[in-house]
Amino acid sequence: MYQFKGKEYPCCASLTMGIIGGKWKTVILFHLIDGTLRYNELRKEMPTVTERTLSLQLKTLEEDGIVKRKVYTSKPPLKVEYSLTDLGKTLIPVIKAIADWGVFLVGEKGETAA
């Protein structure tokens, strides 16, 4: 049994998928690999995600210590930026491997990435 942030997981793979699994978390992390993005920049990169879902996924990733949220309040308008934490950066090879596998699938099927 594995424990992380008060939750128990039956194996190491389920722990990993518990943190980065789901439809949007890996996509969010993929877009943060190259650096910090503001909320609206993330929304533009992921046009089919709802605002509520993006907000909830970012909050969960922040709670798990994968994503860092920085709020600038010095002058209006409010500015919020998201970036990978040091722990989040350890996922870069995993996220890149997942993305590369998607590229491989497109190549295998003779389809094109839109």
**CATH number given to 24-109:** 1.10.10.10
What is residue 114's predicted lDDT score, i.e. its pLDDT?
Answer: 58
55-107: per-residue pLDDT in tens? Answer: 999 999 999 999 999 998 887 778 899 999 999 999 999 999 999 999 998 88
What is residue 111's predicted lDDT score, i.e. its pLDDT?
Answer: 65
Distance CA 99, CA 101 (A): 5
Residue 39 region, left (φ>0) first, then alpha (ψ -120 to 50), else beta?
Answer: alpha
2-35: per-residue pLDDT in tens? Answer: 888 888 899 999 999 989 988 999 999 999 999 9
Amino acid residing at 6: G
Q: Residue ranges of the domains in the chain?
A: 24-109
What is residue 109's predicted lDDT score, i.e. its pLDDT?
Answer: 65
pTM score, whole prediction: 0.87
What is residue 113's predicted lDDT score, i.e. its pLDDT?
Answer: 60
